[in-house]
Structure 1
């Protein structure tokens, strides 16, 4: 391992790999250290136990239009897109456990006044997220003083509209709208080109495409573009110490080894900053952010089946529940591989209660709910069931003990100008990751854009430093 480099990058997820590629292209030496035994961060594509293809433990979806950076890598590496199935009906379970179906692209079969109110709140979020004044002072700070739930109720959201927004935050964050800042949610919606686009599984939507080879294949392909030996796996940072007014850094690894560098890029999730001691301490604004942002409960439980039985009754595999424990599920099959699966999301309070059960109890609860959602006898679903796979993030310290990305509660982001926390370095230390972007926050595309932005800042500072010498 090189003990002295121009740039040390902590984390070999998409943002760290993108930063490394740009630093390398600019002719600077670098090392990436990664605590895990693999690259990819929260892209983690795992083979089914029966060998019939892969399923995604982490990030799963992209598209070929407005997520241009990620898609360009898919093309570069010759990866095979799988179009998300939206042909058929969506299953909807109410709080009382009663289920009905409606066509994809339509709305649940609720009372007319409830549906109208749901549409009004959706349109309000859409319009507010697209209004640039939302993110300027003083409106910015006003919105950050409220939870998302408080804001929509003040705007006239009735019980059904609140339930619907809760379903959104469950699916996107694993949190309730009473947990997150209204401003933070509106920034998320803005970056994904609106709440409707973030929720859309069709063309241009956030859930339009999956990859037959798995989303982690992009990270693996990026790693192969870097010099041999430049990525050090199973190397966790323990401490980062600045010297000479932030022009030199010593990073100590958990095993006691050290690396010196002129600059450091930190490419890990906000809650995982707790694994590293920074000296001097991070500035108050960033320390408050990394201490306050949090994950909800968010678990993927992937049910593997012999056939896509839900399609035989005209269902597309998308389901949503206001009751739980399953909040929603999607068809994550790859038909060409006979890889048939429903990915179920267990989130927030119902997810925590489910997570505390034994493995047999978890399985029974999911299969019972799947049978109810798709109108089949539980015995018929069990006959189709092969086994399950479950995401590891709740137990992963390097992810910060959660998934998909951390969100700010009220009072954390509003006093800063739009994008200030995202772009602000600390001496010669730069911060990147899918949380730290105004474009596609929480998505693979956002991670790549953040990595490129951080590398550009660093390279500009190195050029300025050289010009002064």
Structure 2
């Protein structure tokens, strides 16, 4: 009888690769089974159709200060950081379609009372996200049972402040504030050292740096580190069951390959657990989590251009909209490659309405909105337009039919305390991923930290 592998890791995204590397460095035998024909999970860098560099279909941003693990890999692999452009004006669109440009770091001209209200809400969310008592009982339970929208209203948010919070929430989760637990959103903020850094594109912010080679280059290089044969691509796992001896697992795949392991780390997004039959069934807290957390609508529509026309208006490429269909966009150009682009985010209800349009109408809707935001004629924007790339995460079963991470509605988190449960042993099963971390949830850094911590728990169990 073949000796069982110490650990099988399901999924070759960042968390799975990191778990495998940590285990391998400790001398354990590891096998990574990946459903796709590539590594990287939700890091997915694609070539522009014209060959002028890459754009990100998935994870795109990092920083070199508070995201130590991902930055360490960037240095290890000699990847080239691109500083997010914040030089110039930010474009803002009101709910009636009125647009204005204002300096980065400033705010739209809404009037002093409105601006004070928005600032007060921002500071209130910031303070709550950094206060440890927010996440302790009884406050934890109170916040879990209300939506982020109610949290904002209870704080005295007026119309414009609520619309601003909607931009924040849609931009992070693809959902409206009324659909997300206040506790869940504040936990995301806490993991990024507060709302301000979560939203910030400058130094130390969550969106400070990109990579010229694309973020998938991290995963591709990580996959070269373990021994040959450690990672099997195009091998979707269909079932995980406890073997009769009760101290090993039997893992089967769609192509008929069986594997036996002492421990199993599941590193795929929780909505994708539905692709796997677990025998015995998942423990109750996991079933509760999988049944309740959900993705929003979060689509990237990347417009590539001949030149960065928005800069001629003094704009940095960052926008926000209270109307839609685009919630916000950022300049994702790499100038040295002639790779000029705006990554537009279509989120929540407006994103779904946009998705229902035909391809040409989608393009026209985005280009017309960019025309308004940057105070440039529609004809000029069309003349500068080269091509577009659209993320397809909502059609991807291996991602769980969505992106960037699943998040809980009101009334779910306090009952399950999934982070505490995920840090333990579920009968020899272990779960990791960017949604199962208290640090940089939804980011590459969070995935790496979760993978490392999960592997360390497994190593302790194996000893």
Deviation per CA, 1:59-82, whole angstroms, max 9, x where unpaired? 000010000000000000000000
1:221 equivalent in structure 2: 221
SS of residue in 2 equivalent to 1:169: helix
Deviation per CA, 1:210-261, whole angstroms, max 9, x where unpaired? 0000000000110000111110000001111013585210011112221110
2:305 equivalent in structure 1: 305
TM superposition score normalised by structure 1? 0.97
Find the aligned partners of 1:174 and 1:74 in 2 and give their Cα distance: 28
SS of residue in 2 equivalent to 1:140: helix
Deviation per CA, 1:104-162, whole angstroms, max 9, x where unpaired? 00111112111111111111111111111111122111110011111111121111111
Listed as ranges, the matches of 1:235-384 within 5 Å are 235-243=235-243, 247-384=247-384
Cα deviation, residue 398, structure 1: 0.4
Listed as ranges, the matches of 1:28-67 within 5 Å are 28-67=28-67
Out of 313-322 and 152-161, give the one that drifted further. 152-161
1:193 equivalent in structure 2: 193
Query: How many residues matched?
Result: 462
1:427 equivalent in structure 2: 427
Find the aligned partners of 1:370 and 1:410 in 2 and give their Cα distance: 35
Cα deviation, residue 206, structure 1: 0.3
Mark the runs of 5 or more structure 2 residues left unpaired by the alignment. Answer: none
Listed as ranges, the matches of 1:166-181 within 5 Å are 166-181=166-181
Deviation per CA, 1:235-293, whole angstroms, max 9, x where unpaired? 00111101358521001111222111000000000111111111111111110101111
Listed as ranges, the matches of 1:368-447 within 5 Å are 368-417=368-417, 419-447=419-447
Cα deviation, residue 323, structure 1: 0.4
2:153 equivalent in structure 1: 153
SS of residue in 2 equivalent to 1:386: strand
Cα deviation, residue 417, structure 1: 5.0
Deviation per CA, 1:172-215, whole angstroms, max 9, x where unpaired? 11100001100011110000000000000000000000000000
2:226 is aligned with 1:234 = no
Instruction: Kindly indicate whether the alpha-carbon contact (under 8 Å) linking 1:61 and 1:207 is maintained by their aligned counterparts in 2.
Output: yes
SS of residue in 1 equivalent to 2:412: coil
CA, structure 1 residues 237+114, in 2 after alignment: closer, same or farther (shift >3 Å)?
Answer: same
Instruction: Kindly indicate whether the alpha-carbon contact (under 8 Å) linking 2:285 and 2:418 is maintained by their aligned counterparts in 1.
Output: no
Cα deviation, residue 55, structure 1: 0.2
1:466 equivalent in structure 2: none
1:111 equivalent in structure 2: 111
Deviation per CA, 1:424-462, whole angstroms, max 9, x where unpaired? 331111000000100000000000000000000000010
2:212 equivalent in structure 1: 212
SS of residue in 2 equivalent to 1:6: strand
SS of residue in 2 equivalent to 1:224: coil
SS of residue in 2 equivalent to 1:46: strand
CA RMSD of aligned residues (A): 1.2
Deviation per CA, 1:3-43, whole angstroms, max 9, x where unpaired? 94110000000000000001101111111000000000000
2:81 is aligned with 1:81 = yes
SS of residue in 2 equivalent to 1:178: helix
Instruction: Kindly indicate whether the alpha-carbon contact (under 8 Å) linking 1:308 and 1:341 is maintained by their aligned counterparts in 2.
Output: yes
2:68 is aligned with 1:68 = yes
1:124 equivalent in structure 2: 124
2:454 equivalent in structure 1: 454
Instruction: Kindly indicate whether the alpha-carbon contact (under 8 Å) linking 1:246 and 1:427 is maintained by their aligned counterparts in 2.
Output: no
Out of 420-429 and 55-64, give the one that drifted further. 420-429
SS of residue in 1 equivalent to 2:142: helix
TM superposition score normalised by structure 2? 0.98
Instruction: Kindly indicate whether the alpha-carbon contact (under 8 Å) linking 1:174 and 1:296 is maintained by their aligned counterparts in 2.
Output: yes
Find the aligned partners of 1:371 and 1:413 in 2 and give their Cα distance: 42
